[in-house]
Homo-oligomer: A and B are copies of this chain.
Amino acid sequence: MAFAAAASDKTTTASVFTEKEMQTAAWIRDAARSDNLSYKILESLTTEVGPRMAGSPGDARAVAWAEAKFRELGFDKVWKEPVSFPSWKRGHEKAEIVAPFPQPLLITALGNSVATPAEGLTADLVEFASLKELSLAPADKVRGKIVFINHKMQSSNDYGLVVPGRSAGASEAARKGAVAIVIRSVGTDSHRFPHTGVMRYEDGVAQIPAAAMSNSDADMVARMIKRGKPVSLKLDIGAAATGSYTSYNVIGEITGSELPNEYVLIGGHLDSWDLGTGAIDDGAGCAISMAAAEFIKRNGIKPKRSIRVVLFANEEQGLFGGKAYLAAHQAQIPQIQAAAEADLGQGPVTKMSSFVRTEALPLVKQMHTVLAPLGIEPGDNNAFPGPDMGDLRVAGAASFGLSLKADDYFDLHHTPDDTFDKIEPARINQAAATYAVFAWMAAQAPLHFGSGPELAKTMKK
C-alpha cells in the first residue's frame, strides 16, 4: 500500500490526461477496432485446444497454448502460478421417459454430480416452478421421486434468479428424500442443448445425481406432466470425482516504463466446460484481453504502468483461479491500478462503470469520452470487475466494469454449441478495442485510482 500510493501520488497535481494522451487513446480505439487479432487468437484457442475443462487433458493443453501464445505475441514477461482444486469427470449420460410416453431426453450431468447406480435409476418426476417452490414443498410430495425444477430463464438478466436451482437444488431435493434431480437448463435458447454448470452438495446431506435437460426437452416433459398421469424417468449417469489437480493461472505482462510495479489487470478464464470449445465462455475474454495488451505493445505505445493479462484457471467449478491469484498477491492490492475481466461473451461493450477513489472520477470521465463513440454508456462508481476479480475488489482493488452485451451468451454457454462459428469479428474487435483503450489509459493515468483498504470501505453491495 505505502509503496504504490506514494509512487502515484506525486502525479496528483496534474490529474487529467493530456491532449496528446487523449489523441493516442482515440488512435488506439480506431486502429484496434479494425484489427482482427482477438478473432484470430480465439480461432487458435478453439481450433488447437478446443474443450478445456479444469482438470481434463485439455486443461494442460490450454496452459501450454497460453504460455506459447503470450510469447508469440511478444509479451515482456510470461509466467504461470499454480492453482489446485478437486477434479471431476463426466461419464456416459442418458435419460429417457419410460412412461407414459417413452422418449429419449437430451440431458447432461451438472458439474460435481455423482453417478447413478450402474443400472440407472428410475422414478416418477415431481415438478416445481423454482428452487423456492421446492423448498416450500412437504417432504412426502418429494420422497422417492426425481425432482424436476422447471424454472425458465426469460432473458440474460435472469441468470442470478434461476441459477440457484442448479447449484443448490440437489441438496434441497435430497433433504426431502428425492432420489435425483433434473432441472430445465439455465439458458435462454430454444435448442436441444442441455446446459451444464457447477452444482454443490451441502455437507451432511445425501448426494443424489443432478442433471439438466434442454429447454426443448423441458417443454416436452412439462407437456407430458400436464396430462395428469405419472411421468417416469430413467437416468443413467456415469460422472465421478477424480481426486485433485493442479493447473495454472497463465500471466503475460507488458512492462510499464515509469511505474512498472503498478499494473492494470485484465483477463478472462482459460478453462471451459467440456461440451463445447468455450468460444464465448470464456475464450472470448482471454482473446479480448490478450489482444488488447498486444495491440498497445505492437504499436510501440509505452504505458507508464504495466499491463498484466491473467488467464485464470478453473473459474467454472468455483473461481479457483481468482482465489489463488488473490492469495498470491494479497499484499500487493495497492499495486493494482485497475482491474477488469471479460467473461460475458464476444462483445460489444455497452457500458463502462468504475470503482475508484473520488479524485480519479474526472479521469474516468475522460476515459469515457474516448469510448463513447463505440456506443458505450457511462455507468456508476460501484463497478464489478468480473467473477475472477470479484474478491480483489472486495480486498480494495480499483475496478472497472466493461459490460459485454450478453444477448447470445446464455443461449450458448455451457453447451456443445459454444463454438467459434458464433463469433462475429465486428463484435469481438469492438470489445478488444475497448479493453485496449481502458488498459492503456488506466496504465497511463496521472493519478493512482485508489486501490487499498480505504477504497474497500466505499464498496456498496
Contact = CB atoms under 8 A, between A and B. Distances in A.
A393 to B, nearest CB: 35
A354 interface: no
Interface in A44-86: 46-51, 57, 61
Nearest to A220: B47
B101 A48 contact: yes
B419 A192 contact: yes
Interface stretch (A8-16, A20-28, A102-110, A305-313): A102-110
Contacts of A50: 101-104, 220
A382 interface: no
A192 B48 contact: no
Interface string A159-172: 00000000000000
A220 B420 contact: yes
B103 A277 contact: yes
Interface in A210-234: 215-216, 219-220, 223-224, 227
A422 interface: yes
Contacts of A102: 50, 57, 61
Interface centre among A47, A219, A223, A277 (most CB of B within 10 A): A47
A64 B102 CA distance: 14
Copy count, this protein chain? 2
Given A47-B101, A103-B277, A417 B191 contact: yes
B277 A220 contact: yes
A276 interface: yes
A416 B47 CA distance: 25
Contacts of A277: 103, 220
B421 A47 contact: no
Contact of A216 (B106, B224, B417): B417
A219 B420 contact: yes
Task: Classify chain A's interface size.
Answer: 20 to 34
A227 B420 CA distance: 16
Given A57-B102, A216-B417, A223 B47 contact: yes
A106 B416 contact: yes
Contacts of A220: 46-47, 50, 277, 419-421
A193 interface: yes
A190 interface: yes
A363 to B, nearest CB: 42
Nearest to A219: B421
A43 interface: yes
Given A103-B277, A216-B421, A421-B219, A224 B47 contact: yes
Contacts of A422: 190
Contacts of A61: 102
A192 B416 CA distance: 6
A186 B123 CA distance: 38
A419 B48 CA distance: 33
Contact of A192 (B190, B224, B276): B276
Nearest to A276: B192
Contacts of A216: 417, 419-421
8 contacts: A50-B102, A50-B220, A51-B103, A57-B102, A190-B421, A192-B276, A192-B415, A220-B420
Enumerate the 7 nearest inter-chain pairs by beta-carbon distance, A residue then B residue, closest first: A50-B103, A192-B416, A216-B419, A192-B417, A47-B223, A219-B421, A216-B421
Given A192-B276, A192-B419, 5 more contacts: A46-B220, A50-B104, A192-B417, A216-B417, A223-B420
